[in-house]
Structures are given as structure tokens and as C-alpha cells.
Amino acid sequence: MEGFFGHPAVQAVLAPFAAGLGVAFALAAVRLAGLAVAAGLAAAVALIGGFAFPPVSAQQKVLLLALAAPVLGVIADLAFKPARTAGPVLGAIFGLAAIWVAWNFLRQKEPAMAVAAGAGLAALAGWTTAAFFALRGEPVRAGAAALAFGFGAGASALLSAAASYGQYGMALGSGAGAFLLAQLALGRPLAAGATLALGAGVAGGLLAVGTLLGAQLPWYAALALSLVPVAVRLPLPRAGLWVQTLLAALYGGIVAAIACLLSWPGVQERLGL
């Protein structure tokens, strides 16, 4: 069994999907099925490792924030109704958190370069957090965005020679896929809420930040990824849940695929092609 759970596909896809599916079905009745995304990521962290407290490396900081964000989402869903300004405020908070993640990297740069890089990383994490949070009331779109962003970030990271970030991204997408499948199996939308939206937005944005820091992910590929939550807002037909889910996933998947294609020249350069 140790060999089975040590396989990258099990760690990044199968185990996170199974964990997410179990959580989605178990918590659907209490409107916390959105924890499926966090469960998927947590399963990958448990199998892959790389987490430590207190965190020292950028990856450890990313994982800490990614696992803490859904807890904040649960509090938001159960304790109070978020105000209209909640999205931008949370975006600003996690944008600043991205600077903390990147601090060891930034302090090695010249001041002007550090400010420019820090602003870009903060904008990426902040935008992704706020854009996903805006989808909290639309479970089909939120789940599809998390699915596409997770797999897009994971594939882009793998193409950029960042294997661990790639696995965590795939795990995020697998958890989102489990959430969507639970909806389809039950035949009704499940509450995504801030639990899913904040968890996916923070984790996705910071995984992209981490890949930018530790690998050769082009900034324009990360920019393309950040448009996934915008793409899923394209019109959906007044059709069944299956059709809406597949179409929303297609919208996000096309943008995620573009991000992967933008990462490909770096692969060719490393391979000397």
C-alpha cells in the first residue's frame, strides 16, 4: 500500500478526489460541501508532505494559508453574511499575504525590482481571491472555476518544472471535480459559499505565486490563469445541471489550456528543442 499511496497520480488526483467526494456527500446537508476543495488539497498535503509549522519556505507558507482560508470561509458562511466590500477586502489581505510568502525572494532583489515584483504578486493573489469570492453564490460557476484553475495551475507548474506545486494544483482541481460530481449525482446545486470560493481562490492564487517564485512559469501564463474566474461568467443556457456544469467547465478549461500553452516555450528552451 505504501507504494500505491506514493504514486504521484494517487497523491495528486485519486486520493484528493476521493477525499473531496466523501466530504461533499457528508456535508451537503449542512451546506458545507464546498469543503471538498480543501479536503482534496489536505489529502495531497498529507501524502506528499512539504508542510511545517512554523512555516519557513515559500511553499510551507502557501500551504498554511491555503489550508487556513477555508476555515475563514466556513466562519463567513455560518456566522455572518459577507458585505459587498468583503471580496476586495479579502483580496487585499491575501494580496499582502503573498508578499509574506515571497519575502525571502523579494529581499534578495534591488529595491525597485522588489517593489515591482511584490506588487505584481500581490495583485495576482488579491485578484484571484476576490474574483473567486464573487462566485460564492453560484456553485456551478465556482466549482467549474476551481476545477479549471486547479488543473491549469497544476499543469503549468509541471511544465515549469515545479513538481510539488503541480501536484497541489492538481489536487485542488480534483477536489473541485468531486464537488461538481456530487452536485450532479444528487441532481441539485450544492452550496459553494465562501467555504469553496475563498478556499479555491486563496489556494489557487498562492500556488500560482509559488510557482512564479520557484520555477520558470511565465508571468503571462499566470495572468491567463487569473482570467479563469472571469471566463466561467460567460452565459450559460437555461438547461439541465449537467449541461451548465460541462459548459462552465469548458469556458474555464479553454482559458486554463491557454495558460498551459503559454508555458510550453519554457519547456522547449529547457529541453533544447
In percent, the amount of the chain with pLDDT more than 90 equals: 40
pLDDT digits (tens, 9 = 90+) for 225-252: 999 999 999 998 888 889 999 999 999 9
What single-letter amino acid sits at 68? A
Q: How high is the pLDDT of residue 2?
A: 60
C-alpha angle with apex 143: 173 to 29, nearest 5 degrees? 115
Q: If you average pLDDT over every residue of the chain, what do you get?
A: 86
Q: Which helix (H) or strand (E) holds 211?
A: helix 193-214
Instruction: Describe the crossing of helices 163-186 and 58-79 by its angle, rounded to 10 degrees.
Output: 20
pLDDT digits (tens, 9 = 90+) for 146-159: 999 999 988 888 88
Residue closest to 38 by CA, chosen among 70, 65, 11:
70
Q: How high is the pLDDT of residue 146?
A: 94
Cα–Cα separations (whole angstroms), residue 182 to 34, 100, 130: 11, 36, 25
Highest-scoring range by mean pLDDT, 93-97, 105-109, 114-118: 93-97
d(CA 193, CA 191): 6
Would you call 95 helix, strand, or coil by DSSP?
A: helix
Peptide bond preceding 88 in cis form (omega within 30 of 0): no
Instruction: Give the domain ranges of the chain.
Output: 2-84+129-271
d(CA 78, CA 72): 10
267: confidence class by pLDDT, cuts 50, 70, 90: low
d(CA 245, CA 256): 16
d(CA 133, CA 253): 19
In the block, which residue shows the cell 450532479?
184
- Tell me: pLDDT of 118 over 60: yes
C-alpha angle with apex 171: 168 to 172, nearest 5 degrees? 90
pLDDT digits (tens, 9 = 90+) for 158-213: 887 777 888 899 999 999 999 999 999 998 888 888 889 999 999 999 998 888 88
* Global model pTM greater than 0.75: yes
Residue closest to 215 by CA, chosen among 123, 105, 119:
105
Cell reading at 245: 456544469
Q: How high is the pLDDT of residue 265?
A: 61
269: confidence class by pLDDT, cuts 50, 70, 90: low
Count of residues making up the chain: 273
Q: How high is the pLDDT of residue 1?
A: 60
256: confidence class by pLDDT, cuts 50, 70, 90: very high
pLDDT digits (tens, 9 = 90+) for 68-88: 999 888 888 887 777 677 888
Cell reading at 131: 474574483
- Residue 240 Rama label (left phi>0; alpha psi -120 to 50; beta): beta
- Tell me: pLDDT of 50 over 80: no
More confidently predicted of 213 and 17: 17
111: confidence class by pLDDT, cuts 50, 70, 90: confident
60: confidence class by pLDDT, cuts 50, 70, 90: confident
- Tell me: pLDDT of 215 over 70: no
- Dihedral (Cα; 84, 88, 93, 97), 10-degree rounding: 140
- Tell me: pLDDT of 273 over 90: no
